[in-house]
Amino acid sequence: MVQIHADDQARETLNPTLQLLLLESMQHRCGHETVLNRLAEVLLVHMLRFLMKHQLLEYGVIAGLSDIRLARAITAMHSQPEQRWSVETLANEAGMSRTAFNQHFRDTVGCPPGEYLTRWRMRLACQLLENNHLSIGQIVDQLGYLSDTAFFRAFRKSVGVSPGQYRQQALTHQGG
């Protein structure tokens, strides 16, 4: 939770969006729900930018993205999940030694880089299983796993069910 006081510097940035959000919420015009959703997204982006720019979060992924060195590694993992990332290659992305990077990542983000990468890949896997008609083999390739077995093992450990079971549950919940 982030609290913004009336005299906070963030108010200057966020106030126009907050005013629009408040005005829209009081007027139940056609499309107001869509406008409220989009304004909430804009508010969130502005808030995250403010927090990162002023390094106001000391712990978590946003704190990692606020740190210019860690941000390079996190962004690389996000943009290229299929790469065979190691602590060493991620440390190179960050311009740090392997040991310093590993410790700084863990202290700032809250988990080791490898664990973070696995969590990210599992989120992507869930999205692909829910919203795409790719085969599980194609998903394995897109996420950088060396084998179906390695992916199945990581997925079951992380999500609690097999990728096939997850896809079936997602289809059932979507009504298809």
pLDDT value at residue 128 = 94
- Within a 10 A sphere around the Cβ of 74, how many other Cβ atoms? 24
pLDDT value at residue 2 = 66
Mean pLDDT across the chain? 89
Q: Are 53 and 10 in contact (CB under 8 A)?
A: no
d(CA 138, CA 124): 13
Instruction: Examine domains 61-110 and 115-173 and report if their fold is the same.
Output: yes
> What does the angle CA 110 – CA 66 – CA 19 come to, to the nearest 5 degrees?
115
pLDDT value at residue 55 = 65
Average pLDDT for 134-163: 93
For the domain made up of 61-110, give the CATH fold.
Arc Repressor Mutant, subunit A (1.10.10)
In angstroms, the Cα distances linking 154 to 128, 151, 162 are: 16, 5, 9
Tens of pLDDT, residue by residue over 65-123, are: 888 999 999 999 999 999 999 999 999 999 999 999 999 999 999 999 999 999 999 99
Which of 75, 95, 76, 72 lies closest to 84 in space, CA to CA? 76
pLDDT value at residue 170 = 87
CA quadruple 156, 158, 163, 168: dihedral sign = positive
Q: Read off the pLDDT band of 56 (50, 70, 90).
A: low
Average pLDDT for 29-52: 85
- Within a 10 A sphere around the Cβ of 91, how many other Cβ atoms? 21
Q: Are 80 and 43 in contact (CB under 8 A)?
A: no
Residue 45 has pLDDT above 90, yes or no: no
Bigger pLDDT: 52 or 134? 134
DSSP 58-120: -SSHHHHHHSHHHHHHHHHHHH-TTS---HHHHHHHHTS-HHHHHHHHHHHHSS-HHHHHHHH
Q: Are 176 and 168 in contact (CB under 8 A)?
A: no
Q: Which CATH class is domain 115-173?
A: mainly alpha
CA quadruple 63, 69, 70, 72: dihedral sign = positive
pLDDT value at residue 174 = 75
Per-domain boundaries in the chain? 10-50, 61-110, 115-173
Burial class of residue 43 (count of CB atoms within 10 Å of its CB; 0-12, 13-18, 19+) = middle
pTM over the 0.85 mark? no
